[in-house]
Amino acid sequence: MSGLARTRSVALAVAARGIHNTFTNPAMWMPSVLFPLFFFIAFAGGLSSVQNAPDFQYGAGYTAFQFGFICIQAAAFGGVFTGFSIAADFESGFARRLMLAAPNRGGIVIGYVLWAMTRALLVLCVVFAAGMVSGMNFEGSSADLVALLVLSLAVSIVATLWSAGIAMRLRTMQAGPVMQMPIFILMFLAPVYVPLALVSGWVHEVARFNPVTALLEASRGFIAGDPTKVALSAACLAGLFVLVATWARGGLRSAEKAG
Amino acid sequence: MSAVTVGAGGSVLGQVALLAGRSVMHTMRAPAQLVFPIVFPLILLAVNTSGLDAATKLPGFPTASYLDFALAVPFMQGALFAALNGGQDLARDIENGFLDRLALTPMSGGALLAGQLGGALFTGVVSAILYLLVGVAIGAGIVAGVGGALVLLVLAVSICMAFACFGTFVALRAGSGEAVQGFFPLFFVLLFLSSAFFPRDLIEQDWFRTIATYNPVSYMVEGLRSLVITGWDAGALAASFGIAAAAIVLFLGLSSRALRTRLLRT
């Protein structure tokens, strides 16, 4: 069996186990579905009057505006929740047995990433359905919808590799806040409630340079049928991917050394 | 353990002081329990103030500064975190058998409850003072003045006590930290589905406004907020203090009952 075939075989086995666990154990998928759904309801429902503020310009409406944020958030937190699962696998000793059995350990990380993407896809479908039921205007074409999906899944990959790097270094569920907090803070130091032009104070300055801002603007652009900052988002994601892939590789080495 | 045994032979107040001291010590020894409840709400305050400042330009918005409007929210979030930590501490005591060992001493149930709530209240008081100081330092004005600031602290601590009693009840009833943790999202749902981030009369969606109107958390937040942006609003304060007091009485009563049941099993 070639190296590539071995990697693929390990990755598919790890992903299949994770996906099976996700779909057979509601405790695994409920938080990752309920968390973004709740934020969607709370923000789109409670804050929609903000769209009447002077200079708020987004034609598709406030529900669609928030949907752009929720897609990115759901994908990112899908990755974080997968990080929790990796940490749990280390706590239970399963990950160590997996590392002994796998001929190519890089395949384990790829498997976890595939699992996270499937999880993100499930959440995005539920949130999209909720958005459509609540009367959200999706003004983009089917190509825009596919682009939004690709963008979200790319965010899910980056978040999973970040969380996996931590989970494999610390190998305990107590590392949960370390995975979650930086992503949470990055997400909220971006234009979550209003377009960037209306964000005031120091958060505006931070948001201008925060890569999540470009991702949110691209996501909202696809929803409005007016793709915006697509190249910048792709560049941000590519840069982040290189960083977190290196980070996850270091985590894998650390876990290997720990035995 | 020997200190607790000596205290258990003393007055009820002595017993409460010993257990509360232990609970506070627990909190101090785990800085994450103190730092997270304080820092996280302040980060959200900063983010929300910048993100939602544009809302103050809407006709009918009650103040020109979103910082003033949102200053009440950290007090609520701090109370939630304090309750969560307090509940988890008690659940851990149940899980590791400390409560069973205490049950063998002559310590009274009331003292046990009051002592356990001590750590949560300590976190609540420290965080409330810090929120107020940081809020004023970054430009929030308390319309009700210095007296209003003091009442704000008393109200914040009362709300913290109400949530802590709920956390204690869940811990005693379920006896597991996971169960306490599981209720945490419910607290956040209550906070986000309230008038914490937007005035009720300006909420566009009818269903959301209806939920916020029936959500007691709205009135707790509005009581705190009234001191910052309105001044002395007797109605808002009465509702806020009333709901906090009712929750304290209800969940303290339920906690006592759950404690009796748990001790009987021991």
- Is B4's pLDDT higher than 60? no
Q: A interface mutation test: which of B88, B190, B205 has the most A CBs within 10 A?
A: B205
Instruction: Give residue B10's pLDDT band: very low, low, confident or very high (50, 70, 90).
Output: low
| pLDDT computed for residue A240 by the predictor | 96
Mean predicted confidence (pLDDT) in A31-36 = 83
Residue B18 falls inside a structural domain: no
Contact A22, A119 (CB under 8 A): yes
Chain A neighbors of B50, CB-CB under 8 A: 199-204
Q: Cβ of A46 and B47 within 8 Å?
A: no
Residue of chain A minimizing CA distance to B188: A38
Closest Cα in chain A, distance from residue B5 (Å): 33
Per-residue pLDDT band for B265 (boundaries 50, 70, 90) equals low
pLDDT tens for each residue of A154-169: 999 999 999 999 999 9
Q: Which domain holds residue B193?
A: 34-98+119-265
pTM, entire model? 0.82
Structural domain contains residue B128: yes
Determine which of B8-12, B79-83, B90-94 has the lowest per-residue pLDDT on average: B8-12
Residue B6 has pLDDT above 50, yes or no: no
Task: Please give the ipTM for the structure prediction.
Answer: 0.77
Pair A195, A57: CB distance under 8 Å? yes
Residue with the two structure tokens 């003091």: B150
Give residue A95's pLDDT.
86
Contact between chains at B58 and A185 (C-beta distance less than 8 A): no
Chain-centroid distance, C-alpha A101: 29
B50/A54 CB distance under 8 A? no
Q: Is the model's pLDDT at B2 over the cut of 60?
A: no
Total number of domains in chain B: 1
Which of B36, B39, B50, B217 best tests the A interface by mutation, with the highest count of A CBs <10 A? B50
Q: What is the mean pLDDT of residues A84-101?
A: 87
* B204 token code pair: 């566009």
Closest-CA residue of chain A to B58: A53
B50/A45 touch (CB, cutoff 8 Å), yes or no? no
Task: Return d(Cα A138, Cα B167) in angstroms, integer.
Answer: 42
A28, A21 contact by CB (below 8 A) = yes
- Please report the pLDDT score of residue B5 as a whole number: 46
Q: Is the pLDDT of residue A219 over 60?
A: yes
Distance in Å, alpha carbon of A208 to nearest chain B alpha carbon: 13
Q: Out of B47, B49, B54, whose CB is closest to A50?
A: B54
Query: Tokens 């709740």 map to which residue?
Result: A38
Q: Is residue B158 part of a domain?
A: yes
CA distance B54 to chain A (A): 6
Only one residue has tokens 């696809």, namely A222
Q: Is residue B187 part of a domain?
A: yes
What are the pLDDT digits (tens) for B53-71?
989 999 999 999 999 999 9
Contact list, B55 vs chain A (CB under 8 Å): 47, 49-50, 53
B255, part of any domain: yes
| Residue A58 Cα, gap to closest chain B Cα (Å) | 15
| Option in B51, B192, B197 nearest A203 (CB) | B51
**B106 pLDDT more than 80:** no
Q: Rounded CA gap, B37 and B40, in Å?
A: 6
In angstroms, what CA-CA distances link A136 with A131, A195, B95? 5, 18, 47
Q: Flag whether B57 is in a domain.
A: yes
Residue B165, CA distances (Å) to A155, B185, B259 in order: 40, 17, 12
Would you say residue B23 lies in a domain? no
Among the partner-chain residues B50, B51, B208, the one whose CB lies closest to the CB of A46 is: B208
CB pairs under 8 A between A and B: 86
Q: Does B43 touch chain A (CB under 8 A)?
A: yes
Please give the residue of chain A at the shortest CA–CA distance from B212: A46
Please provide the DSSP assignment of A118-146 as one string.
HHHHHHHHHHHHHHHHTT----S-HHHHH
**pLDDT, tens only, B155-204:** 999 999 999 999 899 888 887 776 777 777 778 888 989 999 999 999 98
As a whole number of angstroms, the longest Cα–Cα distance in chain A is 63
Q: Which of A123-127, A176-180, B238-242 has the lowest mean pLDDT?
A: A176-180
Compute the distance between CA of residue A155 and CA of residue A238 in angstroms, rounded to an integer.
10
Report chain B's mean pLDDT, rounded to a whole number: 86
